[in-house]
Amino acid sequence: MTLADISPGDSATVQGISPRCDGPARLRLLDLGVVPGTVVQARLESAAGDPIAYDIRGALVALRREQAALIAVTSAGARGEPVGADWR
């Protein structure tokens, strides 16, 4: 399962970033806290449906679907408050 598969309101635990995502794009995701173990919650769909904004380590960060599809996750319980849901 990837981050692109979770719908707004749901949370997931990051397993890792695909090796296909490398260079600055990978660095940026790592800097934003997308590392194994991070609990991410999908928060908000943009008006056009893509990108989607995720709560990552307390900050609201928009990622495009194609990027989210490169982040492997496991389900971390549906519709609950994620552990790091303190973005506001």
Partner 1 sequence: MALRAAERSDLPSERASRLVRLGLSPHRWDHLIALAGNPNVGKSTVFNALTGLRQHTGNWPGKTVARAEGAFLHQGARVKVVDLPGAYSLQAGSTDEEVARDFVLFGQPDVTVVVVDATRLERNLNLVLQILEITDRVVVCLNLVDEARRRGIRVKAKRLAHELGVPVIPTVARRGEGIDDLLAAALAVATGDRPTHPRRIGSLPAPIDEAVRSIAPLISEEFPELPNLRWVALRLLHGDERVAAALGSGEIGGLGGELRPVAAHSEKNGAHPGGKRVLQAAVEWRGALGSGLHDEFAEALFDEAARIAKECVRREDRRSGERLDGRLDRWLTSRVFGFPLMIGVLGVVFWLTIAGANVPSQLLAGLLIDDLHPMLLELAGSVGAPWWLSGFLIDGVYLATAWVVSVMLPPMAIFFPLFTLLEDFGYLPRVAFNLDSLFRLAGAHGKQALTMSMGFGCNAAGVVAARVIDSPRERLIAVVTNNFSLCNGRWPTQILVATIFIGALAPPHLAGAVAASAVVTVALIGIVFMFAVSWGLSRTVLRGEATTFSLELPPYRPPRILQTLYTSVIDRTLIILRRAVLFAVPAGAAIWLISNISVGGTALAGHGVAMLDPVGVAIGLNGVILLAYVIAIPANEIVVPTVLMLTVMALGSPELGEGAGVIFERDSLGEVAALLGAGGWTLLTGVCLMLFSLLHNPCSTTIYTIYKETGSGRWTAVATLLPLALGFAVCFLVAQLWRLGAA
Query: Which residues in this chain contact partner 1 in the complex, by CB under 8 A?
Result: 16-17, 23-33, 35-38, 43-51, 53, 56-64, 67, 84, 86-88
- Provide the minimum distance between the beta carbon of 84 and partner 1 in the complex, in angstroms, as a whole number: 7
- Provide the minimum distance between the beta carbon of 9 and partner 1 in the complex, in angstroms, as a whole number: 11
- Provide the minimum distance between the beta carbon of 16 and partner 1 in the complex, in angstroms, as a whole number: 8
Please tell me whether residue 45 adopts helix, strand or coil conformation: strand
Distances (CA, A) of 13 to 47, 71, 78: 26, 10, 12
Picking from 46, 64, 56, 63, the residue whose alpha carbon sits closest to that of residue 87 is: 56
